[in-house]
Amino acid sequence: MARITYIEYDGTPHEVEVRNGLTVMEGARDNNIPGIEADCGGACACSTCHVYVDAAWIDKLPPREAMEEDMLDFAWEPDPDLSRLTCQLKVSDALDGLVVRMPEKQI
- Residue 35's nearest CA partner among 90, 93, 76 is 76
Q: How far apart are CA 49 and CA 70, in angstroms?
A: 14
pLDDT band at 107 (very low <50, low <70, confident <90, very high): very high
Instruction: Report the pLDDT value the prediction gives residue 101, as an integer from 0 to 100.
Output: 98
Tens-place pLDDT, residues 30-88: 999 999 999 999 999 999 999 999 999 999 999 999 999 999 999 999 999 999 999 99
The pTM assigned to this predicted structure is 0.96
Which domains, and CATH codes, for the chain? 2-101 (3.10.20.30)
